[in-house]
């Protein structure tokens, strides 16, 4: 019998998202569930974004502006960047799909770290490309190995900065080393989904300056994390004129909806919400690190809104037991780091609850 599906569809690894909180509450009969699994903003969205959505709701019978003109202008002005060279997506996720569709022919290669954000490998594979996944070295992207893996088939190099799930950054110096050693016709994708949390680190690279020097670069950002509007879906990239034009050919016409555009615009202007979020993030990380130190758990210094920690127990079991106590985290076995957990920062109440419940779980046999 003939194969009904495109080859890549049969072979692709499906992405396993966490279960919705509503479903878990029903399943486990729990009133309160804390989701510390998807790196969302524990403070919720900016109140300005909520207001903007309420106002815009009466216009949802009209298609959105397919160029997201107002949002484009506002981001361009904020970052002093040519608005025409910004491309939007229905979340950063859609942009990763568009990037693979724009650059990958069957047999082409893309280099990325492992573990890192799983979408790079799946989107490249889906286009018939080969994902070269380079293991982390000392918990970081191993740029020397990246460079060794470059060949004539290499089209894309992904750098997740800060990296998901480890939360650490590649420094200016390290990025400069990579850039000096990869050909100009390889497109460098810098995924800065957690940019706003990372910029307080003075070693974090100034990627927009890099883009000026190296046009074949794509910088990805999202409104899902610090801006707290993950549900409405808006991401964007800064890139060169040439790449922006190519990406725009690939995209769907009305992919960023009206509510998303106004919410993003309002969130962009709400600096107070951003500052509060960053402050809470630091407090939550400090509290978790204190607990990890007291217990001699190995953890990776995070510049994002989550931490990766080795609790020295099977993460499948720890995950399940935490779930039964109303805490959802991301277990490390998903990345083959079996005794590690990725935990998103939360409010201080959520953070304390996580620590208490983890402590209980780890003390049980």
Ligand X SMILES: Cc1ncc(COP(=O)(O)O)c(C=O)c1O
Cis status, amide bond into 115, omega within 30 of 0? yes
Residue 358 φ/ψ, nearest 5 degrees: -65, -45
The residue whose two tokens read 């460098």 is 188
HSE, side-chain direction, 13 A CA sphere, residue 159: 31
Please choose, out of 80-88, 91-99, 259-267, 313-321, the segment that lies near ligand X by the rule CB under 6 A: 91-99
- Taking CB under 6 A as the criterion, the residue among 49, 71, 156, 193 binding ligand X is 193
Please choose, out of 44-52, 56-64, 89-97, 127-135, the segment that lies near ligand X by the rule CB under 6 A.
89-97
Q: Quote the least distance from Cβ 311 to ligand X, whole Å.
A: 22
Residue 170 has a CB neighbour count (10 Å cut-off) of 22
Judged by CB under 6 A, does residue 217 bind ligand X? no
Residue 305 sits in the site that holds ligand X (CB under 6 A):
no
Whose Cβ is closer to ligand X: residue 233's or residue 357's? 233
Residue 360: other Cβ atoms inside 10 A: 12
Say which residue the tokens 């047999």 belong to: 107
Q: Which stretch binds ligand X (CB under 6 A): 1-9, 90-98, 264-272, 350-358?
A: 90-98
240 binds ligand X per the rule CB under 6 A: no
DSSP assignment of 140-191, as one string? Answer: B--HHHHHHT--TTEEEEEEESS-TTT-----HHHHHHHHHTS-TTSEEEEE
Please enumerate in sequence order all residues whose Cβ is within 8 A of that of 148, keeping only pairs 6 or more positions apart, or say none.
none
Cβ proximity to ligand X: between 145 and 230 the closer is 230
Nearer to ligand X by Cβ, of 110 and 193: the residue is: 193
230 binds ligand X (CB under 6 A): yes
305 contacts 288 by C-beta, under 8 angstroms: no
Pick from 56, 93, 109, 123: which binds ligand X (CB under 6 A)?
93
Minimum CB separation of residue 324 from ligand X in Å reads 25
Residue 207 interacts with ligand X (CB under 6 A)? no
Q: Which stretch binds ligand X (CB under 6 A): 207-215, 222-230, 246-254, 348-356?
A: 222-230
Cα 18–Cα 135–Cα 282 angle in degrees, nearest 5: 55
Interaction between residue 345 and ligand X (CB under 6 A): no
Residue 165, CA distances (Å) to 20, 64, 300, 322 in order:
20, 34, 10, 19
Cβ closest to ligand X, residue 90 vs residue 351: 90
Reading phi first (left if > 0) and then psi (alpha if -120 to 50, else beta), residue 196 is in alpha
Q: Does 92 bind ligand X (CB under 6 A)?
A: yes
Distance, in Å, from the CA atom of 265 to the CA atom of 256, rounded to the nearest integer, reads: 12
Size of the site for ligand X (CB under 6 A): 13
163 vs 240 by CB, closer to ligand X: 163
Verify binding: residue 270, ligand X, rule CB under 6 A: no
Subset of 123-162 contacting ligand X (CB under 6 A): 160
CA atoms of 45 and 231, how far apart (whole Å):
10
Residue 215's SS3 state is coil
Three-state DSSP class for 278?
helix
Return the residue of 46, 154, 164, 302 that touches ligand X, per CB under 6 A. 164
| Binding of ligand X by 334 (CB under 6 A) | no
Q: Does 205 bind ligand X (CB under 6 A)?
A: no
Is 71 an interacting residue with respect to ligand X (CB under 6 A)?
A: no
Residues at the interface with ligand X (CB under 6 A) = 39, 91-93, 117, 160, 164, 191, 193, 222, 224, 230, 235
């Amino acid at each position: 019998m003939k194969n009904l599906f495109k080859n890549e569809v049969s072979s692709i690894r499906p992405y396993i998202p966490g279960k919705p909180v509503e479903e878990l509450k029903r399943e486990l009969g729990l009133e309160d569930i804390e989701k510390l699994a998807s790196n969302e903003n524990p403070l919720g969205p900016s109140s300005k974004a909520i207001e903007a959505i309420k106002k815009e709701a009466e216009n949802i019978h009209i298609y959105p502006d397919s160029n997201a003109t107002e949002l484009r202008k506002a981001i361009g002005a904020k970052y002093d960047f040519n608005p025409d060279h910004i491309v939007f997506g229905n979340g950063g996720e859609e942009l990763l799909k568009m990037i693979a569709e724009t650059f990958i022919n069957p047999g082409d290669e893309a280099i990325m770290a492992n573990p890192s954000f799983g979408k790079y490998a799946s989107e490249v594979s889906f286009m018939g490309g080969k994902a070269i996944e380079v293991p982390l070295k000392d918990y970081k992207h191993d740029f020397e190995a990246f460079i060794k893996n470059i060949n004539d088939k290499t089209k894309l190099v992904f750098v997740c900065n800060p990296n998901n799930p480890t939360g650490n950054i590649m420094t200016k110096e390290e990025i400069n080393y990579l850039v000096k050693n990869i050909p100009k016709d390889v497109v460098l994708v810098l995924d800065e989904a957690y940019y706003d949390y990372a910029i307080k680190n003075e070693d974090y690279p100034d990627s927009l300056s890099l883009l000026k020097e190296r046009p074949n670069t794509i910088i990805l950002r999202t409104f899902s994390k610090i801006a707290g509007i993950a549900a409405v879906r808006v991401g964007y990239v800064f890139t060169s004129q040439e790449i922006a034009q190519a990406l725009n050919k690939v995209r769907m016409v009305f992919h960023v909806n009206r509510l998303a555009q106004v919410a993003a615009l309002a969130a962009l202007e709400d600096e107070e919400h951003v500052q509060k979020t960053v402050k809470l993030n630091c407090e939550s990380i400090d509290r978790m690190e204190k607990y990890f130190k007291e217990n001699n758990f190995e953890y990776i210094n995070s510049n994002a809104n989550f931490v990766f920690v080795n609790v020295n127990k099977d993460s499948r079991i720890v995950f399940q037991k935490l779930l039964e106590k109303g805490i959802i985290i991301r277990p490390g076995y998903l990345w083959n780091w079996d005794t590690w957990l990725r935990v998103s920062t939360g409010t201080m109440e959520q953070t304390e609850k996580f620590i208490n419940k983890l402590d209980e779980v780890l003390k049980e046999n």
